[in-house]
Amino acid sequence: MSMDENSFPALTDGESTAYRGPQPNPPSDVSDPTIRGQAWDIIESVLDDATPQSEWAREQLRSRMESHPGNPERALLEHLMATRSITDEQSDDSEPNLPSPDLPTPDEDYGNTVLFTRRSRRRIEAILGDRMLLTAFQPIHELAGRNVVGVEALTRFVSDDGASADHWFNEAAAVGLGTDLEFAALQAALVAAEQLPPHVYVALNLSPATCLDPRLRAFVEQSQLAVDRIVVELTERLAEYEYDPVVEALAPLRSRGLRVAVDGAGAGFGSMSQVTHLSPDIIKLDRSLIAGIDHAAGQKTLGAAMVEFARQVGADLVAEGIETQAELTAVMDLGMAYGQGYLLGRPSVQPLDWAAWRTSAHREASTSGSTGPAN
């Protein structure tokens, strides 16, 4: 039975790391004495979020507070500005965004800082309360059989500023709501996936913090999807010290059929031994390896090695980011059985598009000149 989309299971553990230092009197240039209290409330909500996913935000905020002792307003403002800077650097250039509203500068009134932060929280809380997000699915093809066998779930936010998903998730983490927003996106994806054909699996990008959160099991168990149709994608953001806890946390669900995919192999992960440690069911090759693989000898050699590696560990191999006919031909000639990318199908919020994607896959594979995996 699906979970009520207006509620979240409560966290059952997690130690507070809130800043407990002295709270000095408001500075003389702040006309409203409640501004400082509001700033402290926001700061404590960020530091109270004890999930590993938000550790960068906590460390960043602590650093700003050390730089501005007794001045939480300035520390909070610089924290938000740094967060937006990080988000801008991480934005994916493949999908254009409209500019987001500018942050206040350090020279502006402290009251504007708190107002901006409160507005950020209200924006995230509105997303959580009204579920103003959509799930787009991008097809994953079995290249030889010319069928769509799975999809990757991608979050799209309903907003008037065109901000990317990275902006939203980073902004949520900066104000202490990162984990809640990720669970809202997860729930939206699971509900949308109920409309998929029953043979199609759903790949969900989850952070280590979400994998370790006890709410994950409840979300999966209360979903209408069979567990064996759910694939958890782990990315290069997985730190080495998180491998054992994540493997242990996912073990009960994996015993019931849930699968694990390693995303970004060939780029984000430092070694194949780390990939092996996760015992993945699926290995997804990074776009940086696939781009130009048709004419780059080094990439072909690495691609062939990854095909053999996947065979040795018993994992399916998916070539991500196939954008040209030449790349499709090359990956099929190397024996890669599965593919994903704009050439085969762009992300869509319309489930009816999957029929067209199957037609496209048949056409592209038929004209590639390859007979499929060379195993």
- Provide the token pair at 157: 């936010």
Please tell me whether residues 177 and 235 are part of one structural domain. yes
317 has a pLDDT exceeding 90: yes
Domain for residue 256, yes or no? yes
Q: State what percent of residues in the chain have pLDDT above 70.
A: 66
Please tell me whether residues 190 and 231 are part of one structural domain. yes
Please tell me whether residues 152 and 41 are part of one structural domain. no
- Furthest-apart CA pair in the chain: how many Å? 76
What span, in angstroms and rounded, lies between the C-alpha atoms of 202 and 210? Answer: 17
Within 10 angstroms of residue 364's Cβ, the number of other Cβ atoms is 20
What span, in angstroms and rounded, lies between the C-alpha atoms of 243 and 248? Answer: 9
Residue 246 burial by Cβ neighbours in a 10 Å radius (0-12, 13-18, 19+): buried
Please tell me whether residues 91 and 167 are part of one structural domain. no
- End-to-end CA distance of the chain: give it in Å, rounded: 41
Contact in structure between 117 and 172 (CB atoms under 8 Å)? no
Nearest-CA neighbor of 208 among 150, 247, 171? 247
Mean pLDDT of 206-226: 91
In whole angstroms, how far apart are CA 103 and each of 38, 84, 109, 125, 320? 18, 8, 12, 19, 35
Domain for residue 25, yes or no? no
Within 10 angstroms of residue 83's Cβ, the number of other Cβ atoms is 22
Confidence (pLDDT) at 354: 62
Contact in structure between 329 and 370 (CB atoms under 8 Å)? yes
Which residues face 156 on adjacent strands? 134
What span, in angstroms and rounded, lies between the C-alpha atoms of 345 and 148? Answer: 10
- Domain stops at, among 126, 158, 175: 126
Please tell me whether residues 157 and 277 are part of one structural domain. yes
Residue 177 burial by Cβ neighbours in a 10 Å radius (0-12, 13-18, 19+): buried
Q: Which has more pLDDT, 19 or 168?
A: 168
- Provide the token pair at 211: 């994998």
Please tell me whether residues 121 and 143 are part of one structural domain. no
54 has a pLDDT exceeding 80: no
Domain for residue 145, yes or no? yes
Please tell me whether residues 143 and 106 are part of one structural domain. no
Confidence (pLDDT) at 35: 52
Please tell me whether residues 102 and 146 are part of one structural domain. no
In whole angstroms, how far apart are CA 30 and each of 21, 36, 205, 325, 356? 21, 9, 43, 62, 60
Domain for residue 3, yes or no? no
Domain containing 107: what range? 34-126
Q: What is the CA radius of gyration of the chain?
A: 23
Please tell me whether residues 116 and 144 are part of one structural domain. no
- The domain spanning residue 170 has which CATH number? 3.20.20.450
In the predicted model, what is the mean pLDDT of the chain?
75
Mean pLDDT of 285-311: 92
Contact in structure between 267 and 289 (CB atoms under 8 Å)? yes
Virtual torsion, Cα 286, 289, 290, 295, nearest 10 deg:
180
Q: Which has more pLDDT, 161 or 301?
A: 301
Domain for residue 265, yes or no? yes
Domain for residue 6, yes or no? no
User: Which sign does the torsion angle of CA 342, 347, 348, 353 carry?
Assistant: positive
Q: Which has more pLDDT, 197 or 366?
A: 197
Please tell me whether residues 137 and 233 are part of one structural domain. yes
Mean pLDDT of 29-51: 62
Please tell me whether residues 47 and 186 are part of one structural domain. no
Confidence (pLDDT) at 4: 34
Please tell me whether residues 141 and 185 are part of one structural domain. yes
The domain tally of the chain equals 2
pLDDT digits (tens, 9 = 90+) for 269-294: 456 777 888 999 999 998 999 999 99
